[in-house]
Amino acid sequence: MKAKLFLAAAAIVAVSATAQAQEARYEFEKAVITTKAEMMGQPMVTTYYIDDYGKKEASEFTMDMSAMGGNKMQMRSVRQADGTVTFDVNNVKEGHKSEGTVNFLNLTPEVIKKHKIKEKGEEVIDGRPCKIYTVNTEQMGMSVSSTVWVWKGFTVKTVVDGGMFTIETKLDTFDENGKIPDGIFTIPDGMKIR
């Protein structure tokens, strides 16, 4: 069960990640953004910390499993030039590195082919004019298909179809003046990365 939840969290975060940490990803300089989804009746919240037009980015995913006999899950992902490192905030001994995926401000022919990206039209979500794309990624050996609504480079709505699960994530808050915590873009010292 924890592996499925980790896969779902990774799929949601991966749609917004990129392998190129040095290039701009968004049309806004900085923001603190929250998105919300629900899985198995449990709310999932992801907070994104973005600075320097996305050249620095981290996200924290939380899900409270106590109603199902589990614990509160809190995962952090930090984007680097060579991929994204994801780790349990409560156990920073080990992290997992994954290839980043799509920068919607820089859709090269190679990225479009690799992720089978197709533009599906446009739609206004909460007053934000969005382009709609379908994207395919590989997460932990599984193919994950997503439909994303992109505004200024950021996915304001995502529908992930993992075969055995479907998760819809929506933008909850967007604060260009939000406080970015110190050290949020840093990988903890001594962490073993797989």
- In this prediction, residues 23-34 reach a mean pLDDT of 95
As a dihedral over the C-alpha atoms of residue 7, residue 9, residue 12, residue 14, rounded to 10 degrees, the angle is: -70
Token look-up 């992720």 returns 115
What is the per-residue pLDDT for 91?
A: 83
Q: Classify 153 as helix, strand or coil.
A: coil
What is the per-residue pLDDT for 140?
A: 61
pTM higher than 0.85 for the full model?
no
Question: pLDDT tens digit string along 150-165?
Answer: 999 999 999 988 777 7
Question: pLDDT tens digit string along 80-125?
Answer: 878 899 999 988 889 998 877 689 999 999 999 988 999 999 999 9
More confident residue, 129 or 167: 129
The C-alpha atoms of residue 119 and residue 35 are separated, in whole angstroms, by 22
Are the CB atoms for 24 and 54 separated by under 8 Å?
Answer: yes
pLDDT-based confidence at residue 6 (cuts at 50, 70, 90): very low
Which architecture does CATH list for 2-193? Clam (2.50)
- In this prediction, residues 123-130 reach a mean pLDDT of 97
Range with the lowest mean pLDDT among 62-66, 80-84, 148-152, 180-184? Answer: 62-66
What is the per-residue pLDDT for 81?
A: 79
Write the CB contacts of 158 (distance below 8 Å, at least 6 apart in sequence): 12, 15, 35, 146, 147, 148, 149, 167, 168, 169
Read off the tokens for 93. Answer: 């001994």
What is the per-residue pLDDT for 16?
A: 41
Element (H, E) at 46: strand 42-51
Q: Classify 83 as helix, strand or coil.
A: strand
Closest C-alpha to 30, from 169, 184, 142? 184
